[in-house]
Amino acid sequence: MDKYLPVTGRVLLALIFVMGGLGKLGAGYAATQGYMDAMGVPGMLLPLVILLEIGGGIALIVGWKTRYASILLAGFTVVAALIFHNDFANQMQMIMFMKNLAISGGLLLLAANGSGAYSLDERNK
């Protein structure tokens, strides 16, 4: 049972990033870019955000360079929380902020403990 938990955890953590990145493509692109600009983040960074979300998420799913991907995604998630969810008087924004922190905590645990069984990292050892 223990060997299935890391891969399950990796996939569950990765889904929010892969789905988020895919959602920003196509119809969601202009809206996300406008939101970024409105929040003081240059919209021209959106391709890098999409690449990080999709690429980092896929890296987590397959367990490739898991520690690096986890640390990058954790940092990105904390920065996103600080920029986009910092209105603590708004309960929904506070929940979103705390969700981002929780995701970052899971990613840091993954970075500390490694990818586990059923990963490219483990296979390459």
Q: Residue ranges of the domains in the chain?
A: 4-116
Q: Which two tokens stand for residue 83?
A: 């920029």
**Residue 45: DSSP 8-state:** G
pLDDT digits (tens, 9 = 90+) for 78-93: 999 999 999 999 999 9
**Residue for token pair 């960074």:** 45
38: pLDDT strictly greater than 90: yes
Question: What is residue 111's three-state secondary structure?
Answer: helix
Q: Which two tokens stand for residue 64?
A: 């490739």
Question: What is residue 7's three-state secondary structure?
Answer: helix
pLDDT digits (tens, 9 = 90+) for 48-89: 999 999 999 999 999 999 999 999 999 999 999 999 999 999
**Residue 125: its pLDDT value, please?**
78
Q: How far apart are CA 46 and CA 43, in angstroms?
A: 6
* 1-5, 69-73, 117-121: range with highest mean pLDDT: 69-73
